């Protein structure tokens, strides 16, 4: 097998760049914000006030805002419909709480909302959630297709 000189030199340059890049210690890695950890922190702030409609909706709005800012809206294709169907039918909170979660990134906000409504019985009200329209715009069609 013959390797081109250009390919070999390019590979060596890439290795040198990686070797020269600064590495992070374990303590530094823990300090880096993790979108799942932060989402769970915001979610867990909602749990103690699950029965207080005004307060839980206020806190859940913060969570939805964070989710909308940090999770890419999914495309409604066969894979995301199947992932949504799995979240809705075979829900397991351990799948959602893992870091990283055992839930497709595209449907993670759906999984958190499913957990809020079923497991923690949060009294979420679309009329009090200013972020509900955005959530519906991003995930409504996907949820509808998964339930069909």
Whole-model pTM? 0.76
**118-142 per-position pLDDT tens digit:** 999 999 999 999 999 999 999 999 9
Residue 142's nearest CA partner among 102, 88, 95, 92 is 88
pLDDT digits (tens, 9 = 90+) for 43-88: 999 999 999 999 999 999 999 999 999 999 898 899 999 999 999 9
* Chain centroid offset of residue 80 CA: 13
């Amino acid at each position: 097998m013959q390797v081109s000189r250009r390919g070999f030199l390019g590979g060596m340059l890439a290795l040198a760049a990686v070797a020269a890049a600064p590495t992070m210690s374990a303590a530094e890695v823990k300090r880096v914000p993790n979108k799942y950890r932060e989402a769970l922190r915001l979610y867990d702030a909602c749990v103690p006030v699950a029965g207080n409609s005004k307060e839980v909706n206020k806190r859940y709005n913060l969570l939805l805002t964070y989710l909308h800012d940090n999770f890419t809206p999914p495309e409604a294709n066969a894979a995301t419909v199947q992932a949504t169907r799995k979240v809705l039918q075979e829900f397991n909170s351990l799948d959602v709480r893992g870091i990283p979660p055992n839930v497709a990134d595209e449907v993670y906000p759906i999984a958190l909302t499913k957990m809020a409504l079923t497991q923690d019985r949060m009294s979420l009200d679309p009329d009090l959630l200013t972020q509900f329209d955005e959530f519906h715009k991003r995930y409504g069609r996907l949820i509808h297709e998964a339930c069909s």
